[in-house]
């Protein structure tokens, strides 16, 4: 999911209310791909606004197929998908974030991916994993997202550093030096509380070798690695290196521009925002891989494309998804959206191969980790949000916070 927005899960309740079963129903293959037909597609956020242009190009090459794209806001996407699934009228193709996949696969409303057409080895491992659940594959990776470190190189020089921090210790040292030697207000920005705080914590958790839930469905948020990551994260708040609280709608780039916040973690879209919105920062900033503990491991996000199990246009839907996720389609989508390709072959030429900043994102994606596909992942991650906040706000020790989250999550995993 791109710049994630989450909504509380209601899929299970609606499944009961509307009679959806785990096995679902299938509309069969329906109309063949070479017949005249209309393909319905839902895409979310900015992607929904841009996909219609791609669909128009596809239609020129396939005039017998009309592609009807409906943009859906991320704030209503989950509820709209759940309601459509309950009513049996999901679109033929839909964009789906990793946090939704477990729910809809469990409801039995998604068509399994044809792995003879879509090959696992063509995509980043973490991207492919987001479509795997219940022993099957239900989503084809469309675009990927990960987090890297953004930092002010000019202020780093004033702080006495001539390179990006490569380890946790170096990150702490640079954050301190920014304040002490370069005179910045803060050393770094990491989120202290609120919705999706877990996304800010993932680089620490995964780099420490920790997990929230294992692939086989075991809650392990109280593991030594997890507690170590919580402890390290809390240190920045204890030492006054980062803001404890920010106002709703806080935009870190404003403080990055002034130098008040010289470091933060974020995704690829930020590069364009800096270049377009803050031209005075030219040659004064850089990106680097996540500073390592046991390793340099970041979160893997993005979206997949799914096909409705009840679609009567599965053949055409499969062809359209193949177009969007193939090498050329991925390159084209990057130029239109700046979304990073999930298909690794798209990175082998052009700007994706030549741009130094984008290469950092590719290197980070190779080791990035996806959250396990769990039907109640939204609830699970919200418990972790609470645990992190209790540490950053000084209300609980890392060990106590982890143990409380563990007890709450154990009843939610499957």
**CATH code for the domain in which residue 228 is found:** 3.40.190.10
Establish if 404 belongs to a structural domain: yes
1 inside domain? no
Residue with tokens 């925002």: 273
- Same domain? 157 vs 134: no
Instruction: Assess contact for 152 and 256: CB atoms under 8 A.
Output: yes
In a domain, 240, yes or no: yes
**Is 3 within a domain?**
no
- Residue 270 inside a domain? The answer is yes
Q: Are residues 119 and 244 in the same domain?
A: no
* 2 in a structural domain: no
Detail the DSSP E strand segments found in 329-409.
340-341
pLDDT tens profile 112-130: 999 999 999 999 999 999 9
43 & 125 share domain: yes
Rounded CA separation 410/414 (Å)? 9
93 and 155 in one domain?
no
Question: Same domain for 221 and 181?
Answer: yes
- C-alpha 375/C-alpha 381 separation (Å) is 12
So what's the pLDDT on residue 29? Answer: 62
Which residues of the chain carry a pLDDT beneath 50?
A: 1-27
Q: Which DSSP string do the residues of 175-218 spell out, in sequence order? A: HHHHHHTS--S-S-B---SSTTHHHHHHHHHHHTT--SB-TTS-
- Residues 124, 265, single domain; the answer is no
Q: Are residues 68 and 48 in the same domain?
A: yes
Are both 282 and 400 inside the same structural domain?
yes
Q: Give first-to-last CA distance, the chain, whole Å.
A: 22
pLDDT of residue 25: 38
Task: Report the alpha-carbon distance of residue 320 to residue 322 in Å, rounded.
Answer: 5
Q: Are residues 239 and 333 in the same domain?
A: no
Q: Is residue 414 part of a domain?
A: no
Q: Tokens representing 270?
A: 């930020």
Q: Are residues 219 and 248 in the same domain?
A: yes
Dihedral (CA of 120, 121, 123, 127) sign: positive
Q: β-strand 148-152 against 263-266: which pairing, if any?
A: antiparallel
Domain that holds residue 75: 11-145+302-367
Contact 152, 284 (CB under 8 A): yes
Q: What is the mean pLDDT of the chain?
A: 92
Does residue 219 belong to any structural domain of this protein?
Answer: yes
- Neighbouring-strand partners of residue 268: none
- Does residue 394 sit in the same domain as residue 292? yes
CA dist 13 and 32 (Å) reads 35
Handedness of CA 287, 288, 289, 290 (dihedral sign): negative
Instruction: List the Cα angle 126/129/130 in 5-degree steps.
Output: 95
Examine the domain organization and report whether 269 and 311 are in the same domain. Answer: no
Find all residues with CB under 8 Å of 14, minimum gap 6, and list them: 20, 82, 83, 85, 86
Total structural domains within the chain: 2
Burial 252-283 (b: 16+ CB within 10 A, else e): bbebbbebebbbbbbbbebbeebeeebeebee
Three-class DSSP labels, 6-57 = CCCCCHHHHHHHHCCCCCCCCCCCECCCCCCEEEEEEEEHHHHHHHHHHHHH
Both tokens assigned to 232: 């390290």
Q: Based on C-alpha coordinates, what's the Rg of the chain?
A: 22
Please report the pLDDT score of residue 179 as a whole number: 98
As a whole number of angstroms, the distance between CA 28 and CA 350 comes to 41
Helices and strands: H and E segment counts in the chain: 17, 11
pTM > 0.85: yes or no: yes
């Amino acid at each position: 999911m791109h710049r994630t927005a989450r909504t509380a899960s209601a899929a299970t309740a609606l499944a009961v209310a509307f009679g959806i079963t785990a096995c679902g129903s299938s509309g069969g293959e329906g109309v063949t791909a070479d017949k005249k037909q209309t393909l319905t597609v839902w895409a979310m956020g900015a992607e929904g606004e841009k996909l219609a242009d791609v669909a128009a190009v596809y239609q020129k090459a396939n005039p017998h197929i009309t592609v009807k794209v409906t943009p859906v806001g991320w704030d209503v996407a989950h509820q709209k998908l759940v309601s459509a699934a309950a009513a049996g009228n999901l679109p033929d193709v839909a964009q789906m974030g990793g946090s939704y996949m477990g729910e809809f696969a469990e409801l039995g409303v998604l068509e399994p991916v044809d792995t003879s057409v879509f090959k696992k080895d063509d995509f980043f491992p973490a991207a492919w994993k987001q479509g795997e659940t219940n022993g099957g594959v239900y989503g084809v990776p469309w675009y990927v997202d990960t987090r890297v470190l953004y930092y002010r190189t000019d202020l780093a020089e004033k702080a006495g550093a001539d390179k990006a921090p490569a380890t946790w210790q170096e990150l702490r040292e640079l954050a301190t030096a920014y304040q002490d030697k370069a005179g910045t207000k803060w050393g770094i920005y990491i989120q202290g509380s609120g919705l999706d705080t877990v996304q800010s914590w993932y680089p620490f958790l995964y780099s420490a070798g920790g997990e929230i839930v294992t692939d086989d469905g075991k809650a392990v948020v109280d593991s030594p690695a997890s507690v170590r990551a919580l402890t390290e994260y809390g240190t920045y708040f204890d030492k006054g290196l980062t803001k404890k609280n920010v106002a709703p709608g806080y935009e870190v780039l404003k403080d990055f521009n002034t130098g008040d916040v010289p470091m933060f973690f974020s995704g690829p879209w930020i590069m364009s925002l800096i270049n377009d919105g803050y031209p005075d920062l030219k040659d004064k900033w850089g990106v680097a891989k996540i500073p390592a503990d046991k390793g340099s491991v970041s979160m893997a996000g993005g979206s997949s494309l799914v096909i409705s199990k009840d679609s009567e246009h599965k053949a055409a839907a499969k062809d359209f998804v193949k177009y969007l996720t193939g090498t050329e389609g991925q390159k084209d989508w990057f130029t239109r959206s700046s979304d990073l390709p999930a298909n690794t072959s798209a990175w082998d030429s052009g700007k994706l191969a030549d741009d130094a900043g984008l290469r950092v994102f590719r290197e980070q994606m190779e080791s990035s980790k996806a959250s396990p596909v769990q039907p109640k992942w939204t609830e699970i991650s919200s418990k972790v949000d609470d645990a992190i906040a209790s540490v950053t706000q000084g209300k609980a020790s890392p060990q106590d916070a982890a143990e409380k989250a563990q007890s709450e999550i154990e009843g939610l995993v499957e």
